[in-house]
A and B are shown apart, each in its own frame.
Chain A
């Protein structure tokens, strides 16, 4: 609510009743987000190799990397993460991810 009020009060007098003006004032960011939503890459290290990924949690990363159902162990920042916790484990920019898996792809 404070942010909304601030945006509106910053507008020139007479224009604060036009929602379009409010939208325009924040638009560059929002528009940018829409455009980049599908293409947000972040760099992490996977087995010491710099890799660009789009996933934001470990479950997504497992899918993105087509990790098999069996024979996989994953650690983020030195902590082994059980599969049951993958969906609740966020991945941040620069994270060190270690994937131990039987079928080595790349």
Chain B
């Protein structure tokens, strides 16, 4: 299960990146535009939402709870410094997906109790895509968190994130995580659409 997190490079805009991911077959998109005012995010989000609707992809927006509600996106992803999940739930009610970023099992548990619907867990390794990075988890970190989730009977989809490339995916999936979030490895590939297709194939059983 793949989530593509939008980003921009010298070659591609945010919308380009989403278009490439969708064309490559990804059906779960997160629009992430950190440090950008809402007014600039809104038009991009409207277009991205339409692109996702056209192919039936799930569309999540990072951080902006009100915008998610206003546009009728599928949900919001909340990082550690964003609005607390319980507060977002009050705003959004039960018709929107809320994802939360976790670095430890304690984070996962707290998000679960605050009504998160999935976890973005990382970073797998050091990445330049995100600032203020927490300590890297590696394979062992994921194994440990998945194990603790099972013991605590927390059955929440958990998506590995952070500097993951195609080559890492089989081993990461082996740890028991539910899915993978990708950004840089797609956009920095020579042919992003082909790279996405390749990665989707890797995740097929």
Please report the C-alpha to C-alpha distance between residue A73 and residue B93 in the assembled complex, in whole angstroms.
17
Residue contact A98 to B94, C-beta cutoff 8 Å: no
Residue contact B204 to A78, C-beta cutoff 8 Å: yes
Residue contact B155 to A48, C-beta cutoff 8 Å: yes
Q: Let me know if B117 is at the binding interface, CB within 8 A.
A: yes
Chain A 47-92 residues near chain B, CB threshold 8 A: 47-49, 68, 70-73, 75, 77-85
Q: Let me know if B124 is at the binding interface, CB within 8 A.
A: no
Q: Let me know if A100 is at the binding interface, CB within 8 A.
A: yes
- Chain A residues with Cβ below 8 Å from B98 are 102
Q: Let me know if A1 is at the binding interface, CB within 8 A.
A: no
Q: Let me know if B139 is at the binding interface, CB within 8 A.
A: no
Known: A48-B155, A78-B203, A82-B55. A100 touches B118 (CB 8 A): yes
Residue contact B97 to A100, C-beta cutoff 8 Å: yes
One digit per residue, 1 when the CB lies within 8 angstroms of any chain A CB and 0 when it does not, for chain B 19-51 equals 000000011100000000000000000000000
**Shortest Cβ distance from residue B145 to the other chain A in the assembled complex, whole angstroms:** 13
- Tally of A-B residue pairs with Cβ under 8 A? 81
Please report the C-alpha to C-alpha distance between residue A77 and residue B178 in the assembled complex, in whole angstroms.
10
Residue contact A73 to B58, C-beta cutoff 8 Å: yes
Known: A85-B56, A100-B117. A68 touches B1 (CB 8 A): no
**B178, closest chain A residue (CB):** A98
**Shortest Cβ distance from residue A98 to the other chain B in the assembled complex, whole angstroms:** 5
**Shortest Cβ distance from residue A82 to the other chain B in the assembled complex, whole angstroms:** 2
Q: Let me know if A31 is at the binding interface, CB within 8 A.
A: no
How large, as a class, is the contact surface on chain A? 20 to 34
**Shortest Cβ distance from residue B87 to the other chain A in the assembled complex, whole angstroms:** 15
Please report the C-alpha to C-alpha distance between residue A100 and residue B75 in the assembled complex, in whole angstroms.
10
Q: Let me know if A38 is at the binding interface, CB within 8 A.
A: no
- Chain A residues with Cβ below 8 Å from B95 are 68, 70-71, 102-103
Please report the C-alpha to C-alpha distance between residue A85 and residue B96 in the assembled complex, in whole angstroms.
21
Residue contact B56 to A49, C-beta cutoff 8 Å: no
- Chain B residues with Cβ below 8 Å from A98 are 1, 157, 178-179
Please report the C-alpha to C-alpha distance between residue A79 and residue B95 in the assembled complex, in whole angstroms.
22
Give the residue of B28, B150, B176, B204 whose beta carbon is less than 8 angstroms from that of A80.
B28
**Shortest Cβ distance from residue B102 to the other chain A in the assembled complex, whole angstroms:** 15
Known: A68-B95, A100-B157, A102-B97. A78 touches B27 (CB 8 A): no
Residue contact A81 to B96, C-beta cutoff 8 Å: no
Known: A79-B204, A80-B58. A102 touches B96 (CB 8 A): yes
6 A-B residue pairs with Cβ-Cβ distance under 8 Å, sorted by A, are A71-B74, A71-B75, A73-B74, A82-B57, A84-B56, A100-B157
Query: Which A residues are within 8 Å of any B CB, using their own CB?
Result: 47-49, 68, 70-73, 75, 77-85, 96, 98, 100-104
- 5 A-B pairs besides A70-B74, A73-B74, A102-B117 with CB distance below 8 A are A68-B95, A78-B2, A79-B1, A79-B204, A103-B94
